[in-house]
Amino acid sequence: MLERNKIEYLVIFIGEFARHFNLGIHQAYQYLQTFKALDFLEHQYDVAHTMGFNYMVDAMAEYCRKHGGNLA
């Protein structure tokens, strides 16, 4: 059940990230994957899923910037 919850969370998160930055779902996935945000979210799921999506989108955008991303 935990794996299913993680997958559902990540799918919703990618959609929220895409919407926030006006990206397609595939573009958002590629960006988050390239800058290791999806790995981070998967490993920190226990905490991440308790935070609001708006907060996590901003936090992961900052995480990506620290790893070379350039979305503003």
20-54 pLDDT per residue, tens: 999 999 999 999 999 999 999 999 999 999 999 99
**Sequence-separated (6 or more) residues with CB below 8 Å from residue 67:** 35, 36, 37
Q: What is the pTM of this model?
A: 0.92
**In this structure, which amino acid lies at residue 42?**
E
Higher per-residue confidence, 36 vs 72: 36
- Please, which pLDDT band fits residue 2 given cuts at 50, 70 and 90? low
Query: Is 46 in a helix, a strand, or coil?
Result: helix
Nearest-10 crossing angle of helices 2-20, 53-66? 80
Local confidence band at 1 (pLDDT 50, 70, 90 cut-offs) = confident
